[in-house]
């Protein structure tokens, strides 16, 4: 097979790679210079983003075309030790060549990217393209270098290559696509009618054309130029039904979609998250919503929306959310969503109805009661044993923090052995309990087993509360991620797991705060030893997970002034200089979507780090910089970001006098 030129080769290669077309989790990387025209045709034909991956061949002194190795970005060096030994090339000379080529590699990085950062390839499928493979040393270096960045997979794609090279690289890459492997091979250029050298100008032009930008130096996050990039690349939200078409297209066939919030009390975050979720359920077949709430409280909602409870309406179904902060789930936006989900499910058969589940672990006492109540129905003797084990907590009543403190300093024996024993017994009797009455028995057992597991983890959590923030935070988020994984397994088809029962693969939407769902590795949290649900989900599901964050510049928020205090309607101060929120405000677009996963220019411009604001259930504007801001690299933290410049407080179902009165606006920053 011969090719007219690199453009022709790229188009033919794209046809072989059609299965990758329009995937938001895939990126094309070209080995410059000759690989760029080929990769440009692949990327444009398949509607995929394009960038370069810089590799330099180490030529034998005096015979530059003969490769004795290669270097790549990230300090990777691949040497042909046999060739170096056979030709008796001094090690000092090898390193001299390597230094010279590394200088050229750095020059090309500046030349081609103009200061723009390399794309984030973690958990993404990478198609690595060159115009051909002879010895394969440059491609080998590229594969080894890319592996360090944690991609979901690497596909090597070339129009032509030597058979032994393609087969050898097949043992390093996940897949190798060589359109033609002629024998004898001799050289790449022999298989092209036109094989002119690709210039730096052409590389810059093609990269700029692929990304829809002018080939100039990329702006740095926090500069006015970045605001201009946002204005040009952001997708405005006009309030229409098609606002989120690009987001749903980007989500594709993802298994888990994490949708965050920058506060626990902002109406727009709740409303838009619910609207996106409704579309995911109705149009994409998502089967469950898992939220930052306690398992038994959310399960009451689950029974209602699936038509299996005695609650008369959505207000009653939310009745389990009595513990502070009740407004997180007992608010007008959640009420509307629960009503929508109940109505949607009524049009579906029982096995196709979407559920509502909790991920959190604060409900130790309620979960113990749920385990005992379940056993009272299925095994009276086992219920007596459970009561005896859980009696370990009785002296503390509902004050689990008192138990945690006393146990952590040795004032009382821990209940660890008892809660572990109860969980193990439930697991041991799973087959017997879960097979008694078809689906109902399986659902009831799953509810009880998750409560028992929650009790085990909550007991440990309350003890670690007094041992340091990182320990307790990590245990809590590990529990939430573990619950999500159990839920995905349970809701998946029977052939995918021994206790699943649905007729379609489980796809789950997760609702929680940005701090739980944005990848901790891209924030100060990760630097201080904390992990979170977003990181754990990405590690398990890779490119099949998509996370979406929210931001706001100013407005009002429902929050307390102290723990366990009443809900207030508070003014949110304008975001600090040096923050993503201030940068978004400066862009001058009131509402927009940032597709960071697919737009390389946006991702590079917003790589950060910059400050990011997080408001939980308490808002302390007087100490805002210390209490509510942290540094983050936004493009690594989230796949998509939704910004609403001015927002308003979520409306609690029970409005207190503090909430109705609101808060007198401050004269910011003086407060006078």
* Domain CATH code at residue 179: 3.40.50.2020
Same domain, 512 and 489: no
Position 538 in a domain: yes
Closest to 185 (Cα-Cα) out of 171, 168, 164: 164
* Cα–Cα distance for residue pair 340/351, rounded to 1 Å: 18
- 312 class by beta-carbon count within 10 Å (0-12 exposed, 13-18 middle, 19+ buried): exposed
Contact 279, 614 (CB under 8 A): no
Torsion sign, CA atoms 160, 161, 162, 163: negative
Q: Is the peptide bond before 609 cis (omega within 30 degrees of 0)?
A: yes
* Cα–Cα distance for residue pair 30/37, rounded to 1 Å: 9
Position 316 in a domain: no
558 DSSP β-pair partners: 569
Contact 581, 292 (CB under 8 A): no
Same domain, 47 and 60: yes
Position 579 in a domain: yes
Residue 605: which CATH number? 3.40.1660.10
Position 422 in a domain: yes
- Tokens read off for 522: 């891209």
The string over 54-71, giving b where at least 16 C-beta atoms fall within 10 Å of a residue's C-beta and e elsewhere, is bbbbbbbeeeeeebbbbb
Same domain, 539 and 487: no
Contact 650, 270 (CB under 8 A): yes
Position 139 in a domain: yes
Same domain, 499 and 523: no
* Cα–Cα distance for residue pair 338/356, rounded to 1 Å: 9
The per-residue DSSP string of 21-79 comes to TT-TTEEEEE-TTTHHHHHHHHHHHHT--EEE--EEEEEETTEEEEEEEEEETTTEEEE
Contact 191, 211 (CB under 8 A): no
Name the phi and psi angles at 70, rounded to 5. Answer: -160, 155
- Tokens read off for 668: 């910011």
Predicted local distance difference test score (pLDDT) of residue 666: 52
Q: Please state the pTM of the whole predicted model.
A: 0.84
| Number of domains the chain contains | 3
Same domain, 45 and 178: yes
Q: From its phi and psi, is residue 400 left (phi > 0), alpha (psi between -120 and 50) or beta? A: alpha
Same domain, 202 and 276: no
- Tokens read off for 440: 């109902």
Same domain, 632 and 492: no
The one-character DSSP state at 319 is G
Same domain, 399 and 450: yes
Determine the structural domain holding residue 443 and report its residue range: 361-505
Name the phi and psi angles at 23, rounded to 5. Answer: -95, 130
* Cα–Cα distance for residue pair 40/89, rounded to 1 Å: 38
The one-character DSSP state at 571 is E
Closest to 222 (Cα-Cα) out of 621, 639, 587: 587
Same domain, 501 and 546: no
- Tokens read off for 41: 């045709």
Domain boundary (463, 483, 505) is at 505
Domain boundary (505, 520, 542) is at 505
Render pLDDT for 456-515 as a digit per residue (tens, 0 to 9).
999 999 999 887 778 899 999 999 999 999 999 999 875 444 444 445 679 999 999 999
Domain boundary (505, 538, 564) is at 505
Position 375 in a domain: yes
Same domain, 260 and 153: no
Position 347 in a domain: no
* Cα–Cα distance for residue pair 659/654, rounded to 1 Å: 9
Same domain, 224 and 180: no
With a cut of 70, list the residues of the chain below it in pLDDT: 65, 74, 213-224, 434-440, 494-504, 664-672
* Cα–Cα distance for residue pair 468/87, rounded to 1 Å: 59
Position 344 in a domain: no
Same domain, 175 and 35: yes
């Amino acid at each position: 097979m011969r090719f007219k030129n690199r453009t022709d080769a790229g188009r033919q290669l794209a046809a072989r790679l059609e299965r990758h077309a329009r995937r938001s989790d895939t990126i094309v990387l070209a080995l410059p210079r000759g690989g760029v025209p080929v990769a440009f045709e692949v990327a444009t034909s398949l509607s995929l983003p394009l960038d370069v991956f810089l590799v330099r061949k180490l030529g034998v002194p005096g015979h530059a075309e003969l490769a004795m190795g290669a270097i790549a970005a990230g300090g990777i060096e691949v040497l042909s030790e046999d060739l170096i030994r056979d030709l008796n090339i001094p090690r000092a000379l090898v390193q001299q060549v390597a230094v010279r080529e590394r200088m050229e590699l750095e020059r090309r990085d500046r030349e081609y990217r103009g200061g723009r950062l390399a794309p984030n390839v973690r958990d993404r499928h990478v198609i690595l393209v060159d115009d051909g493979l002879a010895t394969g040393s440059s491609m080998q270096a590229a594969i080894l270098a890319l592996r360090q960045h944690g991609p979901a997979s690497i596909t090597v794609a070339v129009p032509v290559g030597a058979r032994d090279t393609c087969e050898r690289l097949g043992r390093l890459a996940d897949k190798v696509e060589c359109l033609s492997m002629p024998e004898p091979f001799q050289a790449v250029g022999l298989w092209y009618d036109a094989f002119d050298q690709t210039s730096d100008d052409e590389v810059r032009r093609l990269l700029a054309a692929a990304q829809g930008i002018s080939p100039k130096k990329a702006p740095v996050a926090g500069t006015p130029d970045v605001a201009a990039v946002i204005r040009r690349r952001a997708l405005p939200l006009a309030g229409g039904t098609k606002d989120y078409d690009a987001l749903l297209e980007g989500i594709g066939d993802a298994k888990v979609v994490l949708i965050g919030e920058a506060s626990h009390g902002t109406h727009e975050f709740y409303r838009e998250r619910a609207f996106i979720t409704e579309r995911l359920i109705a149009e994409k077949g998502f089967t469950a919503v898992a939220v930052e709430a306690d398992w038994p409280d959310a399960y009451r909602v689950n029974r209602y929306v699936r038509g299996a409870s005695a609650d008369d309406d959505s207000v009653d179904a939310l009745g389990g959310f009595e513990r502070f902060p009740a407004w997180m789930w007992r608010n007008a936006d959640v009420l509307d969503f629960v009503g929508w989900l109940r109505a949607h499910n009524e049009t579906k058969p029982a096995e196709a109805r979407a559920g509502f589940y909790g991920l959190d672990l604060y409900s130790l006492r309620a979960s113990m009661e749920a385990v005992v109540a379940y056993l009272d129905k299925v095994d009276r003797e086992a219920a007596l044993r459970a009561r005896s084990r859980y009696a370990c907590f009785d002296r503390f009543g509902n004050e689990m923090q008192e138990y945690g403190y006393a146990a952590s300093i040795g004032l009382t024996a821990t209940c660890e052995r008892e809660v572990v024993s109860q969980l193990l017994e439930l697991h041991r009797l799973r087959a017997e309990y879960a097979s008694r009455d078809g689906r109902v028995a399986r659902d009831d057992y799953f509810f009880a087993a998750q409560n028992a597991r929650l009790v085990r983890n909550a007991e440990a959590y309350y003890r670690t509360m007094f041992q340091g923030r990182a320990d307790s935070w990590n245990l809590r988020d590990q529990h939430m991620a573990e619950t999500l994984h159990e839920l995905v397994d349970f809701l998946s088809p029977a052939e995918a797991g021994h206790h699943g029962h649905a007729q379609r693969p489980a796809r789950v939407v997760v609702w929680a705060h940005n701090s739980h769902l944005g990848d901790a590795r891209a924030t100060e949290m990760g630097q201080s030893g904390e992990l979170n649900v977003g990181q754990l989900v990405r590690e398990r599901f890779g490119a099949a997970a998509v996370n979406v964050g929210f931001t706001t510049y100013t407005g009002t928020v429902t929050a307390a002034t102290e723990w366990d205090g009443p809900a207030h309607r508070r003014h949110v101060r304008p975001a600090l200089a040096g923050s993503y929120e201030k940068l978004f405000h400066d862009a001058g677009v009131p509402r927009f979507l940032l597709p960071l996963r697919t737009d390389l220019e946006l991702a590079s411009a917003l790589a950060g780090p910059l400050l990011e604001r997080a408001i939980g259930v308490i808002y302390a504007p007087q100490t805002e910089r210390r209490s509510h801001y942290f540094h983050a690299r936004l493009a690594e933290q989230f796949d998509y970001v939704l910004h609403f410049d001015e927002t308003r407080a979520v409306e609690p179902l029970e409005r207190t006098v503090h909430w109705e009165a609101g808060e007198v606006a401050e004269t910011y920053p003086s407060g006078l």
